[in-house]
Structure 1
Amino acid sequence: MQKIQIKNMVCPRCIMAVENILNEMKIHPIEVRLGEVLVENQLNSKELNSFQNQLEKLGFELLDDKNSTTINQIKTIIINQIQNSDKRNFVLSEFISGELNKDYSQLSKLFSSTTGITIEQFSILQKIEKVKELLVYDELSLKEIAFQLGYSSSAHLSAQFKKVTGLTPSEFKSLAEKDRKGIDGI
């Protein structure tokens, strides 16, 4: 079995795109999930090069060094937690450390030195993009959004939203053109 790590693979559409590439190459994966593909048989160098070329056409890239793989895993954990969370109150550092079975301070230093922002800042940016998405859908109140994303209050969410975007959630909702970023662009 071979595990292949893929950078910028951060959403369900990304999974579908990678599955399409594998199908075109007649490679049948065991599993395709955010940031990685599991295949039963090792890909030979020709298959791996072809796979890499196809991935690059879609803005993905293979991760081959350990540090890049770890950074990608941290990002994937955070994105999954925010996009699919039913755990409202958890400690991010403990969660990431437990998921990767590594010391958080080492993970934090690696992430900061590589990306230029802290894990916490990355998490906040992801949460703000999720808030934007939920505001655009206009199905939940700000209080409900705050609860869903684990904020202590809607005031805390509003303050953080304004600090990151320069707008209050209400101002953002009233904009004709919403300035949203893809989760892979953060």
Structure 2
Amino acid sequence: MKIYIKNMACESCKVVVKEALEELNLHPVKIELGEAVIKEEINTEKKKKLNTIIKKVGLEIIESKGGILIEKIKNYCQEYIDIKKPVKINLSDFLTEKLDLDYNYLSNAFSEVTSSTIINYTNLLKMEKAKEMILFEEYNFSEIARQLNFSSLSAFSTQFKKVTGFSPTHFKNLKEKRRKAIQELNEDLEQKNH
């Protein structure tokens, strides 16, 4: 049986769902972002218990076809962003291929439910990924732009500023200022203790 789950966005979500299923003596066959396949049918009581357990971490079982479709779109948008090599297919074609549905239909359904566009949502995901990459300093700005499939560093910088209100450089400097402030705070504390 397949169970659709809202808000699954990372590997730790999969672990939470797996543990919750096992706690209820259900046997997961496969767990992907947005869905879990179990060996047995699940009764209403166990479904409620599962929902209660996973709601504690912000996940939720979804049963409406529209809700399931929106979660699939979100998960495929995340998958699209997480592709490590440069993507040779645009997002609309990627979603059409993955979901076997017309992009206009997907776009309209997404906008109706979320009051946002798929492109807007994907850009927000990209900027969260960009912030993470900047904070962990694994890549320079050009590499980040390339990994997130922006046509140029300029396009990346423009989108970053539009979403965050800061240029990538300013955002990086804010992080460094916060780090220095914490170090200074610790130094001040040490001086007071001596």
- 2:95 aligned residue: 96
Give the match for residue 187 of structure 2: none
Q: Separation in 1 of the partners of 2:171 and 2:94? A: 31
Match of 2:146 in 1: 147
Alpha-carbon separation, structure 2, partners of 1:59 and 1:159: 32
- Which residue pairs with 1:35 in the alignment? 34
Q: Deviations 1:74-121 (Å, cap 9, x if unpaired)?
A: 000011221244342321111101100011101100101110110000
> Is the partner of 1:175 in helix, strand or coil?
helix
Give the unaligned 5+ runs of structure 1: 179-186
Identity of aligned residues (%): 36
Cα distance in 1 for residues equivalent to 2:143 and 2:50: 42
Q: Find the counterpart in structure 1 of residue 168 from structure 2.
A: 169
**Structure 2 counterpart of 1:159:** 158
Q: Which residue of 1 aligns with 2:7?
A: 8
Q: Distance in 2 between matches of 1:8 and 1:40?
A: 23
Helix, strand or coil at the partner of 1:30: strand
Segments of structure 2 that go 5 or more residues without pairing to the other structure are: 180-194
Please give the residue correspondences for 1:74-85 in structure 2 after superposition, counting only pairs within 5 Å: 74-85=73-84
CA RMSD of aligned residues (A): 1.4
Structure 1 contact 21–54 (Cα < 8 Å) conserved: yes
Q: How many residues align?
A: 177
Q: Deviations for 1:40-78, whole angstroms, at most 9, x for unmatched residues?
A: 111122211211111222211111100000000000001
- Matches of residues 34-113 of structure 1 in structure 2 within 5 Å? 34-113=33-112
In the other structure, the counterpart of 1:181 is none
Deviations 1:2-33 (A, max 9, x none): 11000011111111111111121221100111
Contact 2:8 2:14 in 1 (8 A): yes
Higher mean Cα deviation, 49-58 or 129-138? 49-58
Q: Which residue identity does 2:5 align to in structure 1?
A: I
Asked if the contact 1:4/1:36 (under 8 Å) is kept, the reply is yes
- Larger RCO: 1 or 2 (CA < 8 Å, sep 6+): 1
Q: Please show how residues 19-30 of structure 1 align to structure 2 within 5 Å.
A: 19-30=18-29
Q: Give the Å deviation of 1:148.
A: 0.9
Return the alpha-carbon distance in structure 2 between the equivalents of residues 86 and 143 of structure 1: 14
- Higher relative helix content: 2
Counterpart of 2:135 in structure 1 is: 136
Q: Find the counterpart in structure 2 of residue 184 from structure 1.
A: none
Larger radius of gyration: 2
Q: One-letter code of the match for 2:92?
A: S
Q: Does residue 123 of the first structure (1) align with residue 122 of the second (2)?
A: yes
Structure 1 segments of 4 or more deviating over 4 A? none
Q: Which moved more, 1:11-20 or 1:80-89?
A: 80-89
Paired AA for residue 163 in structure 1: K
Determine the C-alpha separation between the residues in 1 that align with 2:111 and 2:17. Answer: 28
